[in-house]
């Protein structure tokens, strides 16, 4: 198949990584894949384009592909994409963001051949409504991929699309990078003993990520297990106000390890954890950090929010809680005091990751979806 993947942003974000990984995997499966994204501003070195080039995918960057609606740029993109699609004669156009869905959908629908349009939706707890959503979903979508049953059911309930045009496909993670048999933790860097039970959170430190709940729970845990350590892997402009100073005021600062942002040694730092805490999804609705931890045999204490109960099965590969400080305290204490069950949940989590978060399996499911959409198009032509 000849496939156009299109992404309306230049930034390297969670959804951008999901889109690029799928395009690269489909190319490995033998398909002719073109990847288009927005050009980065002058002087920017860290971008979707730069990562794509480094991974062997030279993206098309001569469209505007604004993240948000920009009337003049959108009209120019619709015309330019129409010419590009007509010239290249793609079999499938796969969109990944609301604005590229709009411009690519309008371009594809204006062609006589009506190239099928696919959309990947990375919102795990439902899509935002509105005129653009209703218009693109109902008029410009031949197939839609969701990452959660929660979103799929919402779309069906709102009658944006019929059930037979929506597929649930898990996003993948790099199972080679997060291979528990290869990754060695760097506990020595943080003066952590091998036998110590260590928890952690991976997140941009922002007010809505419920750090107040984590700190209150930690204060309670310290009374029972005074030497327990919790790692905060991430950064944030307000980290002092949100986490560092409050932990000092609460008398638990020495039990908190603030690692800052990790890139090159992220997997090794993540591997320091015996369990992970995840209370609030961030900008990546797919909860990628949860999936990466599971791949490394790290069970997760997760809040009963959004799609998290779909990823984690309570007491099988992690713990699901209503995220009050008291509930989190009891969950952390359970992880510390029941190492055998914790290890078993970690093993189950890794097996789930291998089965459901596998890039090859994801690409195969998407290929099957493409074929069904194209077959449906052929049958419609015959009728």
pLDDT digits (tens, 9 = 90+) for 36-80: 999 999 988 889 999 999 999 999 999 999 999 889 999 999 999
Cα 225 to Cα 229: distance, rounded to the nearest angstrom: 9
* Domain segments of the chain as ranges: 2-172+358-382, 187-356
Start-to-end Cα distance in the chain: 24
pLDDT tens column, 107-136: 999 988 789 999 999 988 878 878 888 889
Looking at every residue in the chain, the average pLDDT score rounds to 92
**CATH 3.40.50.2000 for the 2-172+358-382 domain, yes or no:** yes
Q: Do the domains 187-356 and 2-172+358-382 match in fold?
A: yes
Decide: helix, strand or coil at residue 215. Answer: helix
pLDDT of residue 141: 94
User: In terms of CATH, what superfamily is 187-356?
Assistant: Glycogen Phosphorylase B; (3.40.50.2000)
Query: What is the pLDDT confidence band of residue 283, given thresholds at 50, 70 and 90?
Result: low
Strands 143-146 and 166-168: parallel
The answer to whether residue 8 scores a pLDDT higher than 90 is: yes
Strand partners for 230: 199, 256
CA angle 358, 22, 362 (to 5 degrees): 35
pLDDT of residue 383: 65
Rounded to two decimals, what is the model's pTM? 0.89
| Residue 49: closest CA among 33, 41, 61 | 61
Decide: helix, strand or coil at residue 36. Answer: strand
pLDDT tens column, 310-319: 999 999 999 9
């Amino acid at each position: 198949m000849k496939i156009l993947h299109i992404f309306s942003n230049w930034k390297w974000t969670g959804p951008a990584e999901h889109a690029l990984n799928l395009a690269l995997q489909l190319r490995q499966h033998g398909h002719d894949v073109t990847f288009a994204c927005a050009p980065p501003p002058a002087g920017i070195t860290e971008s979707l384009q730069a990562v794509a080039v480094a991974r062997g995918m030279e993206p098309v960057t001569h469209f505007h592909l604004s993240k948000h609606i920009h009337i003049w740029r959108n009209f120019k993109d619709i015309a330019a994409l129409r010419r590009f699609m007509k010239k290249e004669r793609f079999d499938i156009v796969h969109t990944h963001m609301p604005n590229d869905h709009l411009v690519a959908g309008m371009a594809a629908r204006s062609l006589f051949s009506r190239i099928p349009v696919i959309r990947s939706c990375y919102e795990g707890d439902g899509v935002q409504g509105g005129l653009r959503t209703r218009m693109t979903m109902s008029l410009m979508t031949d197939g839609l991929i969701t990452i959660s049953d929660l979103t799929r059911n919402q779309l069906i309930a709102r009658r944006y699309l019929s059930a037979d045009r929506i597929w649930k496909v898990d996003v993948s993670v790099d199972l080679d990078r997060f291979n528990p048999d290869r990754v060695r933790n760097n506990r020595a860097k943080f003066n952590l003993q091998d036998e110590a039970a260590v928890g952690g959170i991976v997140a941009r430190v922002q007010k809505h990520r419920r750090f107040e709940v984590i700190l209150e729970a930690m204060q309670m845990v310290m009374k029972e297990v005074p030497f327990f350590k919790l790692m905060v892997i991430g950064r944030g402009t307000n980290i002092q106000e949100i986490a560092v100073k409050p932990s000092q005021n609460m008398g638990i600062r020495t039990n908190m390890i603030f690692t800052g942002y990790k890139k090159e040694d992220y997997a090794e730092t993540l591997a320091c954890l015996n369990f992970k805490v995840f209370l609030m999804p961030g900008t990546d609705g797919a909860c990628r950090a949860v999936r990466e931890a599971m791949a490394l045999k790290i069970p997760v204490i997760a809040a009963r929010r959004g799609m998290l109960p779909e990823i984690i099965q309570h007491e099988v590969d992690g713990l699901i809680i209503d995220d009050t400080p008291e509930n989190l305290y009891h969950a952390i204490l359970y992880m510390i005091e029941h190492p055998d069950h914790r290890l078993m949940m970690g093993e189950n989590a890794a097996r789930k990751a291998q089965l459901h978060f596998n890039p090859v399996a994801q690409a195969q499911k998407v290929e099957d979806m493409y074929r069904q959409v194209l077959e449906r198009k052929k049958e419609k032509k015959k009728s």
